[in-house]
Amino acid sequence: MTSLTIGLLLIALLVVLILLGMHIAIGLILVGFLGIWILRGNIDLAFRLLDLTAWNGIADYLFATIPLFVMMGLLVSASNVGRDTFAVAEVLLRRLLGGLGVATVAANTVFAAVTGVSIASAAVFTRVAVPEMRQHGYRTAFAAGTVAGSSILGMMIPPSLLMIVYGVLAEVSIGSLFIAGVIPGAMLALGFVVVIMAMARFTPGFVYENPEAARQRRQAGAQETGMSGREMLARLLPIAALVFLVLGGLYSGYFTPTEAGGVGAFGALIIALMRRSLTRQKTWEIIRQTGAISVSILFLLIAASFYSRMLSVAGLPNGIAGLIRDGGFSATGFLAMYILLIIALGMILDSTSILLIVVPIMAPIADGFGFNLIHFGVLTVLAVEIGLLTPPFGISVFTVHNTLNDPSIGVEKVFMGTIPFISVMILVLLVLAFFPVLSLALI
C-alpha cells in the first residue's frame, strides 16, 4: 500500500471519527499520530513530532490575535452595542420596503466588524431583531432566516476568526486576509439588502404575515422617527469609533493584526466601562469565556499543525496534485471541485473542522495551480459560510432556533428563510471566483 493510499484512508478515518462525535482536535492528533507511526514504522518518531509540535505550534506573537479579538467581541456583546446599532438602523430604514430586514443586515454588518464570530451575531440579533420584526408584521420564518443569513457576515468582514485559522494553516498574512474580506463582505451585505427589498416588493407573502397591514403600518411609522439625531449619534459613536480604530489601523498599516486586536479589546473595555455594563460577575464570565474559546482554538491549531506534518510525511498534497493534473483538471476545474467539496462538507461538519481538514491539503495544490492564496482564502471562507446555513448541520440556523426557543417555529422554517441568502452567497462566490481583483484590490 502506497503512502498516498494510506494518507487518503487516514483522512477518511478522520471524517468518520468526527461524525461519530469525537472532538476535532483529538481526531486530528490521533490520526496524525497513527499516520506517522504507520508511514515511518517508528512510534518514538511520532511522539517526538507531537512533542515538537505542541512546543512550537503556537509559539508566535501572531497567536495573541485570537484571545484579543475574542475578548473584544465578548465585551462588545456585553455592552449592548448590537441592540443600539439595530435601533438606529430601524429608525433610518423604516421607510424602505422590508425596512426592518434591511436594518438587521445593516446592524449585523457593523456588528461583524468588531466581533468576527457568526454565532455571536446570530445570538444577539435573534434576541434583538426577531421580536421587533414579528411585532411589525413580518413572518417569523423570514425574520429568523434574515438573522441567520446576515450573521455569516461576521466570518467575512474583518476581523474574522475563520480567516485567522485559514491564515495560520495556509501560512499567509492575516492582515492581508482581513483587508481582502472588506469588499466581498460589502458585496454580501449589499446583495442581502437587494434580495430583501426585492422579496418585499414582488413576493410580500414570504416577508409579511399580512402585506397590506404591513404597508399601512410602515406608512404610519414613517411619519415619526422617535429618535433625535443627537441620540442616534450617541448610540452609533462607540461602535463607529471601534470600527475606525480596528479597520482604520489595519488598512493604513499602522497596526499589525495583533496590535489591532489589543487596541480593539481596550476600546471595547472602555465602552463597556462607560456604559456601566460590567458587573463583577459579568467581567469574570467574559474572562472565563475568552480563555475557554481561545484555548480551544489554539489547541485546534496545534492539532492541525501535527496533522499537517503527517500529510507532508505521506506526501499527500503532492500526490493529490499529481492525480488532479493527470486527470486533466484545469485550475478552474480544481477550484470548482474544491468549492463543491467544502459546501458538501458544510452539510455535516462545522466550519473550523472543514478548514482544519482541507486547507493543509488543498492550499499547496492551489499554490501550484497559480492561485493567489489570499484570494483562495476568501473563496474558502465564503464557501464554508454557506455550510453554516445548509442542513442538516447549519450551526447558525440552530443557534437562531435555539435562541428563539419557540415551539411553534420548527428549525425547517428557519432553513427555508435562509434560502434567499444562500442564493446571494453562491452568486457572490461565483463573481469573486471569476474576478479575483475584487478581493485583492485593497491589498
Mean pLDDT of the region 162-188:
90
Residue 163 has pLDDT above 60, yes or no: yes
Residue 85 has pLDDT above 60, yes or no: yes
Say what the alpha-carbon torsion angle 257, 259, 260, 262 is, to the nearest 10 degrees.
130
Helix extents (H) in 161-256? 161-170, 174-180, 182-202, 204-207, 211-221, 229-243, 249-252
Q: What pTM did the predictor assign?
A: 0.82
Amino acid sitting at position 306? F
**Angle of helix 316-326 relative to helix 351-368, nearest 10 degrees?**
60
What's the CA gap between 217 and 422, in Å, rounded?
A: 29
Residue 186 has pLDDT above 60, yes or no: yes
pLDDT band at 258 (very low <50, low <70, confident <90, very high): confident
Does residue 67 have a cis bond before it (omega within 30 degrees)? Answer: no
Maximum mean pLDDT: which of 62-66, 136-140, 319-323: 136-140
Closest CA to 385 of 436, 342, 335: 342
Helix extents (H) in 279-436? 280-314, 316-326, 331-346, 351-368, 373-387, 395-404, 411-434
**Phi/psi at 24 (5° precision):** -60, -40
Mean pLDDT of the region 331-348:
86
Ranking 219-233, 315-329, 342-356 by mean pLDDT, the lowest is 219-233
Q: CB of 32 within 8 A of CB of 309?
A: yes
What confidence score (pLDDT) does residue 305 get? 80
Q: CB of 278 within 8 A of CB of 78?
A: yes
Beta bridge partners of 138: 208
pLDDT band at 265 (very low <50, low <70, confident <90, very high): confident
Residue 374 has pLDDT above 90, yes or no: yes
Q: What is the DSSP string of 388-431?
A: TTSTTT-HHHHHHHHHH--TTS-HHHHHHHHHHHHHHHHHHHHH
What's the CA gap between 301 and 23, in Å, rounded?
A: 13
Q: What are the pLDDT digits (tens) for 300-326?
A: 778 888 887 887 777 777 777 777 777
Q: Find where cell 505542541 sits.
A: 54
What's the CA gap between 346 and 386, in Å, rounded?
A: 7
Q: CB of 345 within 8 A of CB of 392?
A: no
What's the CA gap between 339 and 379, in Å, rounded?
A: 8
pLDDT band at 428 (very low <50, low <70, confident <90, very high): very high
Q: Find where cell 466581498 sits.
A: 184
Distances (CA, A) of 383 to 94, 105, 241, 339, 441: 32, 20, 31, 6, 20
Ranking 59-68, 228-237, 363-372 by mean pLDDT, the lowest is 59-68
What confidence score (pLDDT) does residue 381 get? 93
What's the CA gap between 397 and 29, in Å, rounded?
A: 30
First CA to last CA distance, the chain? 45
What confidence score (pLDDT) does residue 190 get? 95
Angle at 341 between CA 337 and CA 343, to 5 degrees: 120
More confident residue, 224 or 135: 135
What confidence score (pLDDT) does residue 216 get? 67
Q: Find where cell 428563510 sits.
A: 417
Q: CB of 167 within 8 A of CB of 153?
A: no
More confident residue, 389 or 120: 389
Residue 235 has pLDDT above 80, yes or no: yes
What's the CA gap between 153 and 382, in Å, rounded?
A: 9
Q: How far is CA 175 from the centre of its chain?
A: 16
Residue 141 has pLDDT above 80, yes or no: yes
Q: CB of 45 within 8 A of CB of 36?
A: yes
Residue 336 has pLDDT above 60, yes or no: yes
pLDDT band at 161 (very low <50, low <70, confident <90, very high): confident
Say what the alpha-carbon torsion angle 352, 353, 356, 362 is, to the nearest 10 degrees.
-100
**240 Cβ contact partners less than 8 Å away, ≥ 6 residues apart:** 110
Q: What percent of the chain has pLDDT over 90?
A: 16
Report DSSP state, residue 41. Answer: S
Beta bridge partners of 208: 138
Tell me whether residue 1 is exposed, middle or buried, using C-beta atoms within 10 angstroms of its C-beta: 0 to 12, 13 to 18, 19 or more.
exposed
Does residue 184 have a cis bond before it (omega within 30 degrees)? Answer: no
Mean pLDDT of the region 385-403:
79
Residue 430: CB atoms within 10 Å: 11
Residue 225 has pLDDT above 70, yes or no: no
Residue 59 has pLDDT above 80, yes or no: no
Summary mean pLDDT of the chain = 83
pLDDT band at 214 (very low <50, low <70, confident <90, very high): low
Q: What are the pLDDT digits (tens) for 29-52?
A: 898 899 888 888 888 888 888 888
